[in-house]
Amino acid sequence: MSKVTTSSMHDARDAEDTRLLEAGELGLLVESYYGVIIDRCRVKVRN
């Protein structure tokens, strides 16, 4: 079994992002980052 690393997780995310872009699935692409975007906004508002 291969070892999961941060780098391999980023590579997998990049591959999925590329696939979604090429398929024109922009809604799904944005949806996949929605939680991260909201969390960053909350942190910014607190500071």
pTM over 0.85: no
pLDDT score recorded for residue 5: 81
Q: What does the angle CA 40 – CA 30 – CA 3 come to, to the nearest 5 degrees?
A: 80
pLDDT score recorded for residue 44: 94
In whole angstroms, give the CA distance from residue 45 to residue 47: 5
Parse the chain into domains and list their residue ranges.
Answer: 6-46
Mean pLDDT in each 10-residue stretch from start to end of the chain (47 residues)? 76 93 96 94 93
pLDDT score recorded for residue 1: 55
pLDDT score recorded for residue 8: 83
Count of residues in the chain: 47
pLDDT score recorded for residue 47: 80
In whole angstroms, give the CA distance from residue 40 to residue 23: 27
